[in-house]
A and B are shown apart, each in its own frame.
Chain A
Amino acid sequence: GNSVTQMEGPVTLSEEAFLTINCTYTATGYPSLFWYVQYPGEGLQLLLKATKADDKGSNKGFEATYRKETTSFHLEKGSVQVSDSAVYFCALRKGQAGTALIFGKGTTLSVSS
């Protein structure tokens, strides 16, 4: 079946460090891929997305590239800030089999100054 696997957290970094959160997926066909973020006390917000192979999604300094050959969609940021502390969810969505999002378990990021 379709699934998303994220690296286990929590991830603890110092301000200005480089961030990578790994995400791999299993799906037939060509799903769309998403990263959602949940800041403390808030709901899920779409961070970025990519809809086809080799697309790069980017927002707020975060980037992720849709790699079909490795079935991956790793999230990266060159220099994290304290305000980036949140839970990050990788997700996929298929078109033909329904429109539900399939999420990974989430990765908690904690950035200290």
Chain B
Amino acid sequence: EAGVTQFPSHSVIEKGQTVTLRCDPISGHDNLYWYRRVMGKEIKFLLHFVKESKQDESGMPNNRFLAERTGGTYSTLKVQPAELEDSGVYFCASSQGGGSNQPQHFGDGTRLSIL
């Protein structure tokens, strides 16, 4: 089966511009997560979808970040306007169930560089 796919793999934009990241989860996985790793620090949770609904968005840093999952399939994460501190690697993960022992399968990440 195809794994979690993220696009683009790398994005370089200037401060103040807008960028949209996309994640295609594993087919049939209702749970979709976004994480971010900034400057070699911990990978931190951003938000969690169950199908098209936001289950937990407690990790979203501020209102410049908007995540959507229309139709409960792929998800987008938009940053508008981008700031320097938004640079990092954005990971998407999906799982079939939401239980604590359900493994999350990760994509390769999108490396975002803000100049």
- The chain A residues found within 8 Å of chain B, CB to CB, are 4, 31-32, 34, 36, 42-46, 49, 51, 89, 93-95, 98-106
How many Å from the CB of B17 to the closest CB on chain A?
Answer: 25
* Residue B35 at the chain A interface, CB threshold 8 Å: yes
Indicate if the CB atoms of B100 and A46 lie closer than 8 Å.
Answer: no
* B45 contacts A by Cβ under 8 Å: yes
**B42 interfacial contact with A, CB 8 Å:** yes
What are the residues of chain B within 8 A of A31 when measuring CB–CB? 100
A76 to chain B, nearest CB (A): 20
Range, interface on chain B: 20 to 34
CB of B45 within 8 A of CB of A100, answer yes
B101 with A32: CB separation less than 8 A: yes
**Cβ-defined contact, B101 with A51, below 8 A:** yes
**How far apart sit A4 and B6, CA to CA, in the bound complex (Å)?**
26
Could you list 8 A-B pairs, sorted by A, with CB under 8 Å? A44-B109, A45-B106, A94-B100, A95-B101, A98-B48, A99-B95, A102-B45, A105-B42
CA distance A42 to B6 in the complex (A): 12
Enumerate chain A residues within 8 angstroms of B104, measured Cβ to Cβ.
46, 101
B115 lies within 8 A of chain A by Cβ: no
CB pair B59–A100 under 8 Å, yes or no, is yes
Q: State whether A43 and B109 are in contact (beta carbons under 8 Å apart), knowing that A32-B101, A99-B98 are contacts in the complex.
A: yes
Taken together as a complex, chains A and B put the C-alpha atoms of A42 and B103 apart, in Å, by 18
Distance of A9 Cα from B4 Cα, bound (Å): 28
**A46 and B103 contact, CB distance less than 8 A:** yes
